Structure 1
């Protein structure tokens, strides 16, 4: 581990907020991490992060591996780091339909709803910190959420980072299992490891996840859902709205948003063995981000869709840090 990070992590402050969404009774968990020595941050040093279609922020960005998390890493390097769970995920309110049988309701938490929740979190931070812009970050489905928000609110965004963002595909999309979709699905964590490692070449699978990392991740994932231990095998609930949108947009040749409407600098990070977002899809979206002042592609070798939790995760972290650290003054 980086020595400076080890020293700084001792002074990282963690604070959780529950903020009101635009729907009565639905609150959103917003987690903040920052250095205790810093109280004032510029727009350029402030970032909001959103998760993907299955796992919440606690599972993707705040699992302590090798002594620190992604949120810790950014906070240790002087950023005011926020992460939000949209409704139905992790510590945010789960819609009441998630307590009913899945087949009693249509797929919950469509992407449009997630974009609204993300916008609520952006406005909360802007108002709290008295700044006019913020950096935004999204992974996978969260990339759609963050990019769609940016395309509509460039005036509130400084820079946009996308890790393995969704895009139109003529091939089956792994997120969609097929068949009838209910309001939500159960995702057993004990079945995830085989699928996770299967994306890598067979001779590379043994060292993709350092010893104990999967177990730590699984424990944190289950802990993010208070109902996880009520089922056998242990599993988390995940909403099916993102899958419905795969069927109506990405799997049907239809864009959810226009990349050309993004007018801020963009970093796109992709991993070599990502079968959820193959490199051809990442290239397509990158080529369509034509309105950005500049855009950058970073390809991580020997990584899957879950590269941010694997042995090469620091390459992602450092690429994001470098992108954010660079000075950028938008034309007036």
Structure 2
């Protein structure tokens, strides 16, 4: 079993706030001097534990590949500093935790990992909104990452269906008033996930116990029986769903993999291919996982996702 340690680093943006980072390394003397490191960055609603759910841990898979593996919680999520506004009525405060704050946390975490491991350039994997924040980081702060994986990306694609969910009914084409945060119960999480499964037998795509296993892991950092997530991301997504990219993919020059699942209703093919086409990387790949959803990292096809990413990261062409 890999060694696991939960670490906390100080935010450079807000010195009184802490960023939670989970570290997993091989349980052997060689792990004290890892040759490579990878950081996983979560999406809009769920914290970094997404990458370390029992029986489907991407962190464990990365350790097996010889990595020191890390997952952070952006401030406002998981075990990182949670704003006091999360304990107040959501409507009493404006959205917080925009992509820029997440990029600051990514920068702090990468600096910490580089110092802790001695690895000069690390690999970076983002999921969903995490592709926006890792993409912003890669576009603006070159020289610290080796390779980039944009998994289930949301970039810049006009989506009338998603705009309608965020639009102000009294002021069309404008974002509706948002509170500071939103909540999601286990039932809502199950419903959201299940809506993307097109198989007649959902259990053929997903272990029926996985929802509880995953949700229970997130509740360890919550004071109640639901997950709270900052709404700053909804402002970022409003821009993306209106076709306004939050970063310029052409400014990314490291080897990059864009990968999604075929039934992903959030990260659609048109957007993924548009992102791929606009990447400035001299070496880039586009890939899809069949019979999977936005949550494929927790589904029965997860090993296929992990293996394809591993092959990209290990490819001589990606160096």
TM-score normalized with structure 2 length = 0.91
Question: For residue 265 of structure 2, what is the aligned residue in structure 1?
Answer: 275
Structure 2 residue 292 is matched with structure 1 residue 303: yes
Give the CA deviation at 1:204: 4.6
Partner of 1:185, secondary structure, is strand
Between stretches 202-211 and 316-325, larger displacement belongs to 202-211
Q: Distance in 2 between matches of 1:175 and 1:24?
A: 36
Q: Is the 8 A contact 2:199 2:205 kept in 1?
A: no
User: Which residue does the alignment assign to 1:216?
Assistant: 213
Tell me what 2:54 maps to: 64
Q: Distance in 2 between matches of 1:204 and 1:316?
A: 21
Q: Contact 2:98–2:232 at 8 Å: present in 1 too?
A: yes
Determine if the alignment matches structure 1 residue 91 to structure 2 residue 79: yes
* Rounded Cα–Cα distance in structure 2 between residues aligned with 1:279 and 1:105: 35
| Partner Cα separation in structure 1 for residue 75 and residue 193 of structure 2 | 25
2:177 corresponds, among 175, 180, 195, to: 180
Unaligned runs of 5+ in 1: 1-9, 229-233
Tell me the secondary structure at the aligned position of residue 256 of structure 1: coil
DSSP-derived class of the 2:38 partner: strand
Shift of 1:328: 5.3
Q: Are 2:233 and 1:236 aligned? A: no
TM-score, length basis structure 1: 0.88
Determine if contact 1:159/1:324 at 8 Å carries over to the other structure: yes
1:4 maps to: none
Partners of 1:175 and 1:31 in 2: CA distance: 34
Quick one: which of 5, 20, 25 aligns to 2:10?
Answer: 20
Deviations 1:232-282 (A, max 9, x none): xx31110000001122x2123211111011111001111010001111111
SS in 1 for 2:306: helix
Counterpart Cα distance in 2 of 1:202 and 1:140: 23
Q: Which residue, 93, 109, 112 being the options, matches 1:105?
A: 93
Q: Matched residue pairs, number?
A: 307
Supply the RMSD in Å over aligned alpha carbons.
1.7
SS at match of 2:184: strand
Q: Is residue 116 of structure 1 aligned with residue 104 of structure 2?
A: yes
Looking at structure 1, the residues matched to 38 and 240 of structure 2 have their Cα atoms a distance apart, in angstroms, of 27
CA distance in 1, matches of 2:177, 2:266: 21
Q: Which residue of 2 aligns with 1:5?
A: none
Q: 1:172 to 1:220 in 2, by over 3 A?
A: farther
- Structure 2: gaps (5+ residues): 167-175
CA contact (8 A) 2:23 2:68 kept: yes
| Corresponding residue to 1:164 among 146, 149, 152 | 152
Question: Equivalents in 2 of 1:299, 1:210: separation in Å?
Answer: 21
The Cα shift of 1:191 comes to 1.8
| Residues 173, 50 of structure 1: alpha-carbon distance in 2 compared, 3 angstrom cutoff | farther
What's the offset of the Cα at 1:175? 9.2
Q: Does 1:266 align with 2:259?
A: no
Q: Which residue of 1 aligns with 2:241?
A: 251
Structure 1 CA distance for aligned equivalents of residues 5 and 218 of structure 2: 19
How far off its partner does 1:308 sit? 0.3
DSSP-derived class of the 1:154 partner: coil
- In the alignment, the residues of structure 1 paired with residue 60 and residue 163 of structure 2 have an alpha-carbon distance, to the nearest angstrom, of 29
Structure 2 CA distance for aligned equivalents of residues 62 and 147 of structure 1: 22
Equivalent residues of 1:87, 1:93 under 8 A apart: yes
Matches of 1:169 and 1:36, distance apart in 2: 44
The offset of 1:329, in angstroms, is 7.5
